[in-house]
Amino acid sequence: MVSIVGCGLTKLDRYYELSEKDLVSEAYKQLITKIKEYDQPDIVIVSSGYIDVLGKNILSSYKISSGLGLQNTKVMRIENGDNGGASIFTAYSFIKSGVAKKVLLIGIEKFSDYPSKYVNEYLSYNLDNDYTYHVGITPHAYSALLMKKYMKKYNVDYEYFTKWPIKMHQNASENPLAYLKFKVDKNTVVNSQIVSDPLRIFDVGARADGASVVLVTADEVAKRYFDSPVKIDGIVGNIGAMNLSDPSLPSVAKARNELGDLPKRDVVYEIHDSYSIMAALEIEELKLAERGKGLDVVDSLDINLSGGLKARGYIGGGTAIYQLGEVFLHLTNQFKGKSANAEKGIILSNDDLGNTSYLAVLSR
């Protein structure tokens, strides 16, 4: 019903010379040089978390679309925390309903224009703005508290969490588009800077600049653009407050329940590892590992072969669109990094603390 026919991904990096519009243009150029036929999309969806507050852009969907030379289309931006999954869900729904035949998904974020204390300020807009935001707390503190609870409940020490960054950096070192293309050892992680005890810098997704464009079409027109399109089998989503008192992510659990058992073989996963603790909980909520053992399975699954938010880099609300492009490349044997010989791809997209989640299933 719904197919992906092409994508364009910029390398994630710090781009002091390029604007959001420039980055999207770079990704778009890749897309239109790879597809067989070029025509304008019926709808453009811009997925971005912070393009208004960091980039001083309202009406970003119009500005970006006109920057791509689009003349006849409908445009919108979707903001759902750091959850680009909502944008994928919207594109999927437009096509499945017949409202559109071609939707251009654009993921964009630019974090490097401001120092981290300002970026932390805007990321804290994700917290409740009746109390928590006003008293100076950041999502990092929540993540640290979540980590402490997990450590107590499952009797694991900090070393348990080092498995994630070590694996992610190893994967990123093979990915030419990754932001942090270097390997790290346990010693480096354990001795890295403390952000909010016990959370260290290597437990936090690496904020970067970057863009992704993905062209999604109805099946009947897909082959006009690409000979072996990838199908979006379905996308589900749900909400539920992250549980700090008994570490868990109800929104992920509910979304996963809609899909039933998820495969462990012949599948490539991309999950939202905003923090190492989030990776652990997400893997457990997806029932890919037992409770308290989420990070013990990182070597036995094809998960975040890109290097994840941790090392490929993190582009806020553009993240899931980037992951969608990566999984498309895996399923069409075009992924340049560590590749998976997979039949299916599954993307878990949630905000950094997992209050709202989407799960998309793709297949060759």
Chain contacts with other proteins (rule: CB under 8 A)? 116-118, 120-121, 124, 128, 130-132, 134-138, 140-142, 144-145, 148-149, 193-199, 241, 244-245
**Amino acid identity, residue 295?**
L
* Per-residue DSSP letter, 243: B
In the bound complex, what is the minimum distance in angstroms from residue 119's beta carbon to other proteins? 9
Q: Give the C-alpha distances (Å, rounded to integers) separating 312 from 30, 33, 208, 252, 316.
A: 19, 24, 9, 23, 13
In the bound complex, what is the minimum distance in angstroms from residue 198's beta carbon to other proteins? 8
H-only helix segments in 124-265 = 139-154, 158-172, 186-190, 219-222, 250-259
Give the nearer residue to other proteins in terms of CB position, either 134 or 336: 134
Give the nearer residue to other proteins in terms of CB position, either 67 or 240: 240
Give the nearer residue to other proteins in terms of CB position, either 53 or 221: 53
Q: Which residue has the tokens 């399975």?
A: 297
In the bound complex, what is the minimum distance in angstroms from residue 19's beta carbon to other proteins? 23
In the bound complex, what is the minimum distance in angstroms from residue 245's beta carbon to other proteins? 5
Q: How far apart are CA 355 and CA 336, in angstroms?
A: 32
In the bound complex, what is the minimum distance in angstroms from residue 15's beta carbon to other proteins? 23
SS3 218: strand
Give the nearer residue to other proteins in terms of CB position, either 193 or 341: 193
Give the nearer residue to other proteins in terms of CB position, either 253 or 359: 253
Give the nearer residue to other proteins in terms of CB position, either 149 or 223: 149
Closest CA relative to residue 82, chosen from 268, 338, 316, 303: 316
Q: How far apart are CA 201 and CA 17, in angstroms?
A: 26
In the bound complex, what is the minimum distance in angstroms from residue 140's beta carbon to other proteins? 6
Q: How far apart are CA 242 and CA 248, in angstroms?
A: 6
DSSP strand pairing (356-363 vs 74-78):
unpaired
